[in-house]
Every structure is written in structure tokens, then in C-alpha cells.
Amino acid sequence: MTIDLTGKVALVTGGGRGIGRSCVELLARAGADVVVNYRSSEAGAAATVAEIGSAGRRARAIRADVSVADEVEALFGEVQAVWGSLDILVNNAGIIADSLVAAMEPADWDRVLEVNLRGAFLCTRAAMPIMLPRHAGKIVNVASVSALRGGRGQANYAAAKGGLVAFTRACAVELAPKGIQVNAVLPGMITTEMSTRARKRGGERLLETIPSGRFGSPEDVAQAVLFLVSPLADYITGQALAVDGGMTSA
């Protein structure tokens, strides 16, 4: 059975690079038209849109900081005006600002929660006027294994991603009767810019904590997202799926 998303419109936040970009590529390959949100990666978003366009899908890059309510409203307003619908939302945008809790600046605490948690809330809220009248929609929140296990120097990030998983469950319960499924993926150690320092610092010792014996690729995460937004997952909601090579089971 193949996943066919022809005729669906998807929006991926932070879709210009990393895991978000892989999500955009896989969704488009499955037939969806895709809105690529970005904040600073204008060139990456433009390249992604060009790549999708040449494969015959409709795509558009739209800049917005997901933590700013007005910018999110404008983003979804443009989606509504241009596409008239939204079937899939992937809340992928995220940042880290690591430091030990004793030295953590309140500004770094706030910023990490604003982007990773408030951003998902603002985007989910803004998607409602489009999804609710259609009584359909799929939302996937990109959380982290940090929601399950503490990482040194990541109190802000763990709180944000733990909050995002709780937010996912609450939204799932509220929105299931409205035909909208909400799930989360929890990536482990994935080979993107975000984890470069941790992978360099952790080296072989870090690899030994992953039963599969390798770091994950952005595609590994995107494939899980693709499954969760597909009709194959119509009866799955409120779940948090670790994509971590067995890391959190070890």
C-alpha cells in the first residue's frame, strides 16, 4: 500500500532545512502541495520550493516567526487566501539554548519555550478556522526524547518538549470529535545542525546509547510524520512516537 496525499495541502513550520525540509520533501513526494514556513532560512526554503515545483507539486515559501502571534495569523491568513484549505500541519520549528540550570538566563528559558511550545500552540490555534469547518485535519508536533529523559543543560528544552507532548494529548482529546488527529514524534539524536555539537561532544560513547548503532537521519523522522498524517493513521491520536533507534527503550 502506498501513501497518496494528492489534493492535500500541508504546512511545515521550519521547513527550509533539517527535519522540516525532509518532511516537506516526503509530503510532496506523496502528492501533497506544501507551504514551507521559514524564519531565517530564506534560501533553503526557496530551494525546497523550487525542488518541489520541478517535481510537479505546488509549493510556496512563507516567512513567519512561529512565536509571534501576528506573524502566525498572517501566515495562516495567506494559506487560507492562496490555497483555501489546510489538511496537514507539522509543527516542526524548534531551537535549543543549552546551559546548566544554575546559569540559565531567563531569556534563554523564555525563548526556548516560546518557539518550541508557544509556537505550536499559536499555529494549531491558527489552523482551527481552516480545519474545523472541514471536520478533518492531521497535526503532528515534533517534540523530542528530551520529553522523556533529562539531558544535562536542557532544562528549558525538556520542559518545552514535555509540554508539547502534554499539549498534543490535550488537543487530541479535544479535537478527535471534530475529525482532527493530533500526534507527536519524539526524535532521538538526528543528524542536523541542531545536534552537531552534541554529536561531536558525545562521539562513540553517545552512539553506544543507541541500540540501532547509528544516529537518525532527517528522513527517519519524516517517514514517521508521513505515516501519522496518512489515512493509515486515521484511528491514531494523542500518541507520542519515539523515532530514536531504541534510545529511550534501552
Count, residues in the chain? 250
Binding site for ligand NAP (CB under 6 A): 13-14, 16-20, 37-41, 65-67, 92-95, 115, 142, 144, 187, 189-190, 192-195
Is the Cβ of residue 8 or residue 39 nearer to ligand NAP in the bound state? 39
CA-closest candidate to residue 13, choices 44, 36, 30: 36
What secondary structure letter does DSSP report for 152?
T
Minimum distance, C-beta of residue 18 to ligand NAP, in the bound complex (Å)? 2
Regarding beta strands 137-142 and 88-91, do their DSSP bridges make them parallel or antiparallel, or are they unpaired? Answer: parallel
CA-closest candidate to residue 131, choices 69, 92, 86, 198: 86
CA-closest candidate to residue 222, choices 176, 190, 200, 193: 190
SS (H, E, C) 13-66: CCCCCHHHHHHHHHHHHCCCEEEEEECCCHHHHHHHHHHHHHCCCCEEEEECCC
Minimum distance, C-beta of residue 179 to ligand NAP, in the bound complex (Å)? 26
Is the Cβ of residue 42 or residue 234 nearer to ligand NAP in the bound state? 42
Is the Cβ of residue 66 or residue 89 nearer to ligand NAP in the bound state? 66
Is the Cβ of residue 98 or residue 132 nearer to ligand NAP in the bound state? 98
Minimum distance, C-beta of residue 221 to ligand NAP, in the bound complex (Å)? 7
Minimum distance, C-beta of residue 236 to ligand NAP, in the bound complex (Å)? 20
In the set 38, 109, 121, 157, the catalytic residue is 157
DSSP lists the bridge partners of residue 60 as: 35
Q: Establish whether 157 is a catalytic residue.
A: yes
Minimum distance, C-beta of residue 37 to ligand NAP, in the bound complex (Å)? 6
Is the Cβ of residue 9 or residue 113 nearer to ligand NAP in the bound state? 113
Number of Cβ atoms within 10 Å of the Cβ of 42: 12
**Strand spans (E) along 65-214:** 88-91, 137-142, 180-187
What secondary structure letter does DSSP report for 92?
-
Catalytic residues, which ones?
A: 157
